[in-house]
Amino acid sequence: MPTVVRCWRCQDEHIPQVFCPACEALQPLPPDIDYFTVFGLARDPVLDEQALANTYYDLSRQLHPDLHQTGTAEEQEASLQNTAVLNRAYRTLRDPVQRGQYWLELNGEQLGKENNKVPPDLALLVFEVQEQLAAVREAQSAGTDDARAGLKSELTQVWDDLDDRMQGLQQKLAANFSKWRQADDASDLLSGLKRVLSEMAYLRTLTRDVEKALSIF
């Protein structure tokens, strides 16, 4: 059974949403509302990111506290509360990795301890990148200009390689998402989803480390 709330103004009962469908009064969203419901979406990992952004900006304008300064105390409080919820929901759903992790949680799953280790496919890459980053730190204190220039070129290539790999994983993630609707046995899809999300999380960390190193040149 879906959660039902009661409008503070007209007492109409409805599923949680930003505005009452009966009297259009601004409604306080429940603190435990799922982020898909905030945007009126089904719990589906596949979504139209541009439509999500459009809905977000539209709701942001409608919820802006300045529009409710002369409203009731209930409306003023709902404006502030809902804006915070809306921002959290948008940050989560617009990002494929966060969306995937959140969708797992909604379905009683999580990456788990076995996914906190460096994925085997990335172990060698992680080692090589960390070695190059250590060389950069050493060159910054004792290296020549030529050595630093060479390291910068190498790091730029590393960043390009990481970006290419991330794009490949994004395609795998999108393909995995699209299969859940027709899946009869989700066990293989679940393990695949966890593996891709784990790899993407590690790649993001590596990419940030490389970007930080490049910024000092």
The answer, yes or no, to whether residue 48 has pLDDT greater than 70, is yes
| Overall average pLDDT of the 147-161 stretch | 85
Dihedral sign for Cα atoms in the order 54, 57, 62, 63: positive
Place of tokens 């998402």: 177
Contacts of residue 60, Cβ cutoff 8 Å, sequence gap at least 6: 83, 86
Task: Please tell me the predicted confidence (pLDDT) of residue 110.
Answer: 81
% of the chain at pLDDT higher than 70: 92
Domain that holds residue 62: 5-94
Task: Please tell me the predicted confidence (pLDDT) of residue 2.
Answer: 64
| Overall average pLDDT of the 158-187 stretch | 88
Q: What is the Cα–Cα distance from 188 to 197, expressed in whole angstroms?
A: 14
- Do 74 and 145 lie in one domain? The reply is no
3-state DSSP call for residue 7?
coil
- Do 82 and 153 lie in one domain? The reply is no
Whether residue 79 is contained in a domain is answered as yes
pLDDT digits (tens, 9 = 90+) for 192-214: 899 899 899 889 999 999 999 88
Residue 16's pLDDT band (cuts 50, 70, 90):
very high
- Secondary structure element (H or E) that encloses residue 109, with its range: none
| Overall average pLDDT of the 19-23 stretch | 94
User: Left, alpha or beta for 42 (phi > 0: left; psi -120 to 50: alpha)?
Assistant: beta
Residue 137's pLDDT band (cuts 50, 70, 90):
confident
Q: Is 7 in contact with 14 (CB distance < 8 Å)?
A: yes
* Number of structural domains in the chain: 2
- Do 69 and 146 lie in one domain? The reply is no
Q: Where are the alpha helices (DSSP H) in the chain?
A: 35-38, 49-63, 73-94, 96-106, 120-142, 145-179, 187-214
User: Which CATH number do you get for residue 69?
Assistant: 1.10.287.110
Residue that terminates a domain, selected from 33, 62, 94: 94
Whether residue 106 is contained in a domain is answered as no
Question: How much is the mean pLDDT over the chain?
Answer: 88
| Overall average pLDDT of the 54-58 stretch | 97
Task: Please tell me the predicted confidence (pLDDT) of residue 126.
Answer: 86
Whether residue 117 is contained in a domain is answered as yes
| Overall average pLDDT of the 21-25 stretch | 94
Whether residue 107 is contained in a domain is answered as no
